[in-house]
Amino acid sequence: MSTAMTFQLVMAQFGSSSTKQENLDKAEKALEEATRIHHADIVVFPEAFMSFYQIGTPREQKLEDAEPLDGHFATTMRALAKQYGVWVVFGTRETTEDSDDDRVYNTAVIIDSDGEIVSSYRKTHLYDAFGAKESRDIKPGTALFEPIDTPFGKLGLFVCYELRFPEIARYQALHGADIILVPSGWVRGHVKEQHWETLVTARALENTAYVVAVNQINEFYIGQSLIVDPMGVVVARGDETETLIPYRIDLERVCDVRAKLPSHLHRQAHLYG
């Protein structure tokens, strides 16, 4: 697979609602504008973009909302990716195959410009923190994402809360990731905005890779999506509104930084246990 050294990535910083069709309509508008205005090659939507439920929504309603990856929502997103000739990444609630477990998966899906699902990832580290209990409704995946070759270099991926686990980002880097996508729904709270920027920046710098962290935005989530380059420089940033955030990624930057800062060659893995 040939690789373009530069490509146009667009972060779709949007909040979703409990009505899937509204979210699909929003996705179509975003993809039309991202390709027409920004000439996007890949558009990344946030975690759980398929649907968002307010605190207090009955658990049964949230769980019944889940779909398989051949369900209506993912199938429509596939059709939109093909229609606009663009790669698409988005978060969904995926049904499980376990009849004895009534939880669902928090899944990120990668679709190519032909409308094919090329990979997906079920979030493994769940947000049981700051008073939340994601594991009550979400079943954890059983494996980390395996970085994939694309026309835009090698893509790694993990989801939101997993920013707090440096081992996950390091796994992506050790498996060749040049760019790590992080679909997110970063919840508001005391010093949480500081945590967000610090963690995204650290994961980029320590792995000398681009980190593309796309966040939901509403009264519950902070927005402020970020792209941080391999030297730890914030090169694109969202505000507190729904918006498209374009950035042209240059893979030569990864090569240049790793030549100056070859920390990936200096690991003493035998010491880490």
Residues recognised as catalytic: 47, 123, 160
| Pick from 84, 44, 47: nearest CA to 246 | 44
Cα–Cα distance, 138 to 107 (Å, whole number): 10
Tokens 């509204």, residue located: 22
Catalogue the long-range contacts made by 23-31 (C-beta closer than 8 Å, 24 or more residues apart).
Answer: 23/49, 23/50, 23/51, 23/73, 24/73, 24/76, 24/77, 24/80, 27/77, 27/80, 27/90, 28/80, 30/244, 31/80, 31/81, 31/83, 31/84, 31/86, 31/88
Q: At what angle do helices 20-36 and 72-84 cross, to 10 degrees?
A: 10
